[in-house]
Structure 1
Amino acid sequence: MTSRGAPVTIGMLFSQTGVTAVLERSQRQAAMLAVSQINSEGGLLDREVVLLDSDPASNPGRFRTEAKRLLDAGAETLFGCYMSSTRKAVLPVVESRNSLLFYPTLYEGFEYTPFCIYSGAAPNQNAGMLADYLTETHGQSYYFVGSNYVYPYECNRIMRDLLSNRGATVVDEVYISLDPSDEEIARVIAMLKDAGPVVVFSTLVGDGAVRFYKAYDKAGFDRTAQPIASLTFGEPEIQALGSEAATGHIKAAPYFSVLDTPANREFVKSYRETFGPDAPISAEAEAAYFQVKLFAEAVRRAGKSDRNSVIRTLPTFSFEAPQGTVRVDSVTHHTHLWPRVAVVGEDGEFEIVREATEPVAPDPYLVELENSSWMLPSDLAHGSS
């Protein structure tokens, strides 16, 4: 492409190594694909988009250091972070530089800053529908297992309320290291055996989650009666786990790669042509992709790429993302998304069993804990796209 002006420089904060790299690598690839497509279409304002890369290695301190380095190197806007601890490490840096972070990962809510756009699900856009589905199909006894950092504690607090409101009981709640030892995992498996017939709600992430699911499979739990439900364990983790050990487990998210829509078919085709026919695509990767496209459209409409212009312009339009039509809320800076629940089939692919019929507005502070948008009529509750 020919460029008549200085490039639009952006920075990426996705771990290529470390305990959460299994997921963040797919986010990084999706963001790279979006930048490549933007440049192939002429760039932004006749300017090439230049991408500065990093490897924060799943470490909050490294995320902070890399954010400073990228901004020092000329990045105007940053894209990335997975764990809440890494986002919280980066935001003070972004705020001090009057920059902007696009955050593409589901999180625990209860946050707002004019220096961040949240394109992953807030709790009202995933947990509520999951609580409905679980209590209607898998009974009333639950056991929480989480990684020992911010998101699992806060997510479990919300999920406990949602399950309680539906008459369910949380038998116990246990947390293990982000990179757990085999002994830690074995101890939790033993606790689950002693607990009797319970459904596990997991907020484990990364390699630790994959190893826990493997141990769960090896222990012989009946996944038709005792599946593991999660908001985080998606296609990249399933590929690392293997389809046989993943069958029957459940995830709630705004996006699954099996969605049969024109926008998603094109996205999946482009992604796998670029990164390989078996490359897994998660909800977090889809958010990393469409948030770059949202940024690009805001720059085109504003005629500028600075934070104030982008922030002012983002809420003024909608975008046809692979998951459906999305838009940024002007008040919360979170995104209107499409809640869905899916179960892993025998082929290792998700099968969508419940979905919203329209995008759900973000409610990051859970002003309305029970959002009627996810309470679907029974004849719609089990459809798929």
Structure 2
Amino acid sequence: MVTNGDWRLGILFSRSGVTAAAEIAEANAALLAVEEINARGGVLGRPIRPTFYDPECSPQKYRELAVRLLTEDKIRSVVGCYMSTARKAVLPEIEAYRGLLFYPTFYEGFEYSPRCFYAGSSSNQNAVQLARYLMETFGKRFLLVGSNYVFPYEYNRVVTDLVMSGKGSIADEIYVPVEATRRDFEPVIRQIRKLKPDVVVSNVVGTGAVLLYEAYKEAGFDARTMPIASLSTTEAELAEMAPEIAVGHLTAASFFETLDTPEARRFVSAFKRRFGDAAPVTASAEAAYCQIHLYAKALEMAGDDEPDVVARHLRGLEFDAPQGRIRVDPDNNHTELWSRIGRINAQGRFDIVWQSETRVKPDPYFVTSAFDDWMESTPRMKRRT
């Protein structure tokens, strides 16, 4: 029976729309974390009661549902959002109603709010590492393709700076609609065929990513010599493809489902027992799971769900996450994360080809301004075989 003593938490992830597959994984991970916490007796003897809404990948609905959570439902903290357009729609309402937003998705950086905690990788935790790996392994001539919204533009700007600083070049930069169709990728394939880059960097999201990889395969391009490298192609997108479609392509992330550590195996096993063997476990899902556990720890320390008090206890808080021990940076509300690169195998799973030896401190504004400085400040990467 629900009582007024329950801790209330809003969950905003889409179950329909262009990025639904990735967001369902995040929602599942959030629910798993809540269930684990409640099975141990909740927080200070009181269970967490989540309220889930489906914004259908619409920024307007994200905003409307955030207001509903904060006003009608009297909920003070919200976990959610995938695309940056959704976060940017929700965050002003979170700030206006003095709530907290927990954002678990990798993103472009260049943002700070005292009322938002960011658990996904920002660009200095993935762009630098991926660019260096690509230039050392495949070459320095890049072609960039992305969905037409803020994250791909900002991320591609960072990649361009890195490549140019590393004495590389950008062959072209192409954008497709967020709700792309197969036809939208025909000019992309023509440009790749014409320009013959060393690497294609993709920030195409959701269903469009599946279409890109299918078109790439049909065009006969060889991933062994000219791979697609991405942040936005995760286990959720791979689950929508035939296994042979994406073999050899690369993704940078803080966590992969195949990570072989005791804590990662325990998390993935629990996730699949709860949601099915085919349920994809992504880095953003792992981040959502971690954020709710961090919220519960801060809530216990605070003894109250007043957002300013919870936020104060969150800053500097650490957690033994499936990816490795993480820490909320008290200077910018982002999270110190691990960095990894995975290559897709014939079974449609990620083989981790290298990873950081230590977690990477977030620098969402890229205060370090030179390529060499970024390289020196990035922990040495351990190549995997």
Deviation, 1:317, is 2.9
Deviates more, 1:301-310 or 1:203-212: 301-310
Q: How do residues 299-310 of structure 1 correspond to structure 2 at under 5 angstroms? A: 299-310=299-310
Corresponding residue of 2:376: 372
CA 1:375–1:165 in 2, change beyond 3 Å: closer, same or farther? farther
Corresponding residue of 1:70: 69
SS at match of 1:36: helix
SS at match of 2:136: helix
Corresponding residue of 1:232: 232
CA 1:329–1:197 in 2, change beyond 3 Å: closer, same or farther? closer
Alpha-carbon separation, structure 2, partners of 1:316 and 1:170: 39
Does the CA-based 8 Å contact 1:63-1:90 persist in structure 2?
yes
Deviation, 1:315, is 2.3
Corresponding residue of 1:95: 95
Does the CA-based 8 Å contact 2:360-2:379 persist in structure 1?
no
Alpha-carbon separation, structure 2, partners of 1:225 and 1:276: 35
1:41-73 per-residue CA deviation (whole Å, 9 max, x = no partner) reads 111121111111111011111100111112221
Does the CA-based 8 Å contact 2:357-2:379 persist in structure 1?
no
Does the CA-based 8 Å contact 2:181-2:211 persist in structure 1?
no
1:124-180 per-residue CA deviation (whole Å, 9 max, x = no partner) reads 101111011000101111100010000000000001111112221110001010011
Corresponding residue of 2:383: 382
1:199-231 per-residue CA deviation (whole Å, 9 max, x = no partner) reads 110010000111111111111101101110001
Deviation, 1:253, is 0.8
Alpha-carbon separation, structure 2, partners of 1:184 and 1:329: 40
Deviation, 1:374, is 2.9
Corresponding residue of 1:159: 159
Say if 2:17 is the partner of 1:13: no
Say if 2:342 is the partner of 1:342: yes
What letter corresponds to residue 264 of structure 1 in structure 2? A
Say if 2:56 is the partner of 1:57: yes
Q: How do residues 37-52 of structure 1 correspond to structure 2 at under 5 angstroms? A: 37-52=36-51
What letter corresponds to residue 372 of structure 1 in structure 2? E
SS at match of 1:351: strand
Does the CA-based 8 Å contact 2:189-2:215 persist in structure 1?
yes
Q: How do residues 206-217 of structure 1 correspond to structure 2 at under 5 angstroms? A: 206-217=206-217
Alpha-carbon separation, structure 2, partners of 1:321 and 1:77: 21
Deviation, 1:3, is 8.9
Does the CA-based 8 Å contact 1:213-1:245 persist in structure 2?
yes
Alpha-carbon separation, structure 2, partners of 1:64 and 1:333: 22
Deviates more, 1:186-195 or 1:120-129: 186-195
Corresponding residue of 1:222: 222
SS at match of 1:75: coil
RMSD: 1.4
Does the CA-based 8 Å contact 1:4-1:47 persist in structure 2?
no
Alpha-carbon separation, structure 2, partners of 1:161 and 1:197: 17
Alpha-carbon separation, structure 2, partners of 1:373 and 1:247: 32
Alpha-carbon separation, structure 2, partners of 1:348 and 1:312: 42
Corresponding residue of 1:254: 254
Deviation, 1:334, is 0.3
Does the CA-based 8 Å contact 1:258-1:349 persist in structure 2?
yes
Does the CA-based 8 Å contact 2:67-2:93 persist in structure 1?
yes
TM-score normalised to the size of structure 1? 0.96
Deviation, 1:373, is 4.4
1:55-96 per-residue CA deviation (whole Å, 9 max, x = no partner) reads 101111110011111222122200010000100000011011
Does the CA-based 8 Å contact 2:84-2:150 persist in structure 1?
yes
Deviation, 1:304, is 1.5
Corresponding residue of 2:169: 169
Does the CA-based 8 Å contact 1:106-1:284 persist in structure 2?
yes
Deviates more, 1:182-191 or 1:144-153: 182-191
CA 1:154–1:316 in 2, change beyond 3 Å: closer, same or farther? closer
Q: How do residues 92-241 of structure 1 correspond to structure 2 at under 5 angstroms? A: 92-241=92-241
Say if 2:23 is the partner of 1:24: yes
Deviation, 1:5, is 6.2
TM-score normalised to the size of structure 2? 0.96
Alpha-carbon separation, structure 1, partners of 2:196 and 2:300: 57
Say if 2:297 is the partner of 1:293: no
Does the CA-based 8 Å contact 2:294-2:317 persist in structure 1?
no
Deviation, 1:286, is 0.5
SS at match of 1:53: strand
Alpha-carbon separation, structure 2, partners of 1:179 and 1:167: 34
SS at match of 1:202: strand
Does the CA-based 8 Å contact 1:5-1:46 persist in structure 2?
no
1:268-316 per-residue CA deviation (whole Å, 9 max, x = no partner) reads 1110000001211110110011001100011111212221111111124
Does the CA-based 8 Å contact 2:316-2:329 persist in structure 1?
no
Alpha-carbon separation, structure 2, partners of 1:261 and 1:5: 39
Identify unmatched segments of 5+ residues in structure 2.
none
